[in-house]
Amino acid sequence: MSATFNTTIRQTIPRCLDYATISSLGLLRALRQHEIKIGPESQVSNAAIKWQKDPNIYTAVDLLAEALIIKDFESEDAKRAARYLLNQYKTTSPIINELATHFLQQPLINIAHLLDVSEPQNRYTNIANLKKSVRFYHRNPIAWCDMAINYATLGQMDKSRSAIEVALNLAPNNRFILRSAASCFVHFKEYDRASHLLSHSPLYNVDPWITSAGIAIAESADIPTKSIKKAKVLVEDDNLTQFSRSELSVSIGTKEMKNGAEKLAKTYMHQGIIDPTENALAQAEWMSSQLNADIGNFSNLGNKVPASYEAIARHLFYKEDFKNSLTSAKQWCSYEPLSSMPFVFSTYITSLCFDDEPESLRILTSVLPLHKTDSDFMNNYICSLAQTGDIEAAIKNFMNMDLRNLRDHQILVLTATQGLLCFRTDNAEKGRELYLEAIRGFERIQDPRSATVAAYYLAAEEKRILSPYKDARIKDAKSRFNRFKVFELTKRINKL
């Protein structure tokens, strides 16, 4: 086989991202629109009168901070105080300049701090800073959580698990901590624990972010989903912002799609993209490809929603714009290094669409320690090794793979990959047999696209060794290609 990318499965599992990124993306915003304006109950303050009577740095700071606390960003007095403070920047502290600047600015979504995953040094620096932080102030669950994510990104699972346990003990009922912990457990392949954590939280069926994550994780691990009816009530609660309901909408839509209720699935999908998160948009894009439904204004949404790398990569892929799709996929890799999916998707494009195996190898090697236990990731890695001529390493990695608990699709992909390795070790007969077994298997599970890719690679191997079966295999591959429209193979099929 070649690189693989299973397009038949996707769930809105929360991204495993640090606090700075999550907050920058607005995922911690208020659940209800009316909450945004609620300020604390207090005595009538005289900060504005004091400022008007005696404008100085202190009265300006008092007025500005009070306006910030009660979220009165329209106060003309406070705006004047902010401008006054900015004019006095030489005599004030940096935090006061920050206060004045923040008050006057529109909030900006800034995800420029996302790090290049190929540079683990950045992660080590982060961990060192976080360790220093918790040594001084150990009661900060967010620091522990960020530390867990950084450790996981370095493949140090035990340390990551310990840190996330501390975070959970400190703040068992916080949205950020719960979602991060659940996505960490998913990364550790502890789906049961992730699902239990969310479904037993008091926030389940109260906070749509928690409910959405709970449904997605349970669905991905075939765990029975708890109280979907309550989730549907939540998604129809118009007091909640559309943004906060977007992931829950598409999660329910995905479940409906799986149950065969396509019309209902489309309704939830469309509701999910009124004001979507990038994860909801990516899920909707995936759903639209499965349901043959169109997301009308994808270009607008893709530009509007920050960090929608996955959605754009998938959208451009289906539009057969492989070059730009790969660019977005690489950004997706930097954005979500703890998921194997962006790496598998990127190398699927580099291998199938561009026949650029060295590039595939480079992409995969950068995060190899993180995803050594991921079947699809390792399959693509082994194929790239074999295609670049390093058969010995490919076989060694194949032998080291854990083949337990694999889905049918994954077993068939690996069967085909074993076929490739047999061909490359001059055992064409066994290779042919394995490839054919995989093709028949794909047909059995009704995945004709994967069967076509396997048929193509079998034909390519037959052609490479100038086997007597090559013409028949080429004919079969071309016939499947025409029938099932495996557009990513177009260039390669034409070269056969």
Partner 1 sequence: MENGPRAADCLKDLKLKEGWRVKSIMHRHPKATGGNFSVGYLVVNNDGRKAYLKALDYSAAFENPDPPRAVQALTTAFNFERDLLTKCGDRRLKRVVTALDSGTVKVPGILGIAANVSYIIFELATGDIRNQVAQWQEFDVAWALRSLHHSAVGLQELHNSHIAHQDLKPSNVLVFPAVGSKLSDIGRASYIGTPSRNDALQIAGDPGYATPEQLYGWQPFTDFSSRFIVDNYHLGSLIFFFFLGCSATHAISLKLSKKHLKEFTHTDFIKDLPYIQQAFREALDELCLSTDIKTGLLSQEIVMIAQQLCEPDPRFRGDPRVLASRHVPRYDLQPYISRFDRLARTAELKIL
- The residue (of 176 and 268) whose beta carbon lies closer to partner 1 is 176
Number of residues lying near partner 1 (CB under 8 A):
59
Distance CA(56)–CA(45), nearest Å, equals 17
Among 82, 148, 152, 171, binds partner 1 (CB under 8 A): 171
92 counts as binding partner 1 under rule CB under 8 A = yes
Among 166, 170, 395, 401, binds partner 1 (CB under 8 A): 170
Stretch that binds partner 1, among 69-77, 229-237, 300-308, 480-488 (CB under 8 A): 69-77
Among 58, 230, 396, 471, binds partner 1 (CB under 8 A): 58
Stretch that binds partner 1, among 4-12, 50-58, 229-237, 358-366 (CB under 8 A): 50-58
SS3 32: strand
Nearest to 4 by CA among 279, 495, 350: 350
Nearest to 149 by CA among 163, 170, 135, 169: 163
412 counts as binding partner 1 under rule CB under 8 A = no
Site string for partner 1, 136-165 (x = CB under 8 A): xx-xxxxx----------------------
Distance CA(494)–CA(476), nearest Å, equals 14
70 counts as binding partner 1 under rule CB under 8 A = yes
In our burial notation (b when 16+ CB lie closer than 10 A, e otherwise), range 349-375 reads bbbbbeebbebbbebbebbeebbeebb
Among 28, 221, 291, 368, binds partner 1 (CB under 8 A): 28
**Residues in 413-432 that interact with partner 1 by CB under 8 A:** none
Distance CA(471)–CA(458), nearest Å, equals 11
Distance CA(486)–CA(209), nearest Å, equals 36
Run of H or E including 43: none
As measured in angstroms, the least distance from the Cβ of 456 to partner 1 is: 48
47 counts as binding partner 1 under rule CB under 8 A = yes
Stretch that binds partner 1, among 55-63, 212-220, 323-331, 480-488 (CB under 8 A): 55-63
Find tokens 């060295």 and name the residue. 358
Per the CB < 8 A criterion, the answer to whether 1 and 383 are in contact is: yes
Find tokens 């429209």 and name the residue. 485
Distance CA(313)–CA(367), nearest Å, equals 20
Any bridge partners for residue 32, and if so which?
240
Q: Which two tokens stand for residue 261?
A: 């209720």
Q: Which two tokens stand for residue 417?
A: 């990959």
As measured in angstroms, the least distance from the Cβ of 71 to partner 1 is: 7
**Residues in 179-198 that interact with partner 1 by CB under 8 A:** none
Stretch that binds partner 1, among 6-14, 48-56, 220-228, 487-495 (CB under 8 A): 48-56
- The residue (of 52 and 122) whose beta carbon lies closer to partner 1 is 52
Per the CB < 8 A criterion, the answer to whether 44 and 210 are in contact is: no
As measured in angstroms, the least distance from the Cβ of 25 to partner 1 is: 9
Among 87, 125, 169, 173, binds partner 1 (CB under 8 A): 173
Per the CB < 8 A criterion, the answer to whether 248 and 234 are in contact is: yes
Give contact residues for partner 1 (rule: CB under 8 A). Answer: 19-20, 23, 26, 28-30, 35-36, 38-47, 49-50, 56-58, 61-62, 65-66, 68-71, 73, 92-96, 98-99, 102, 107, 109, 133, 136-137, 139-143, 170-171, 173-177, 203
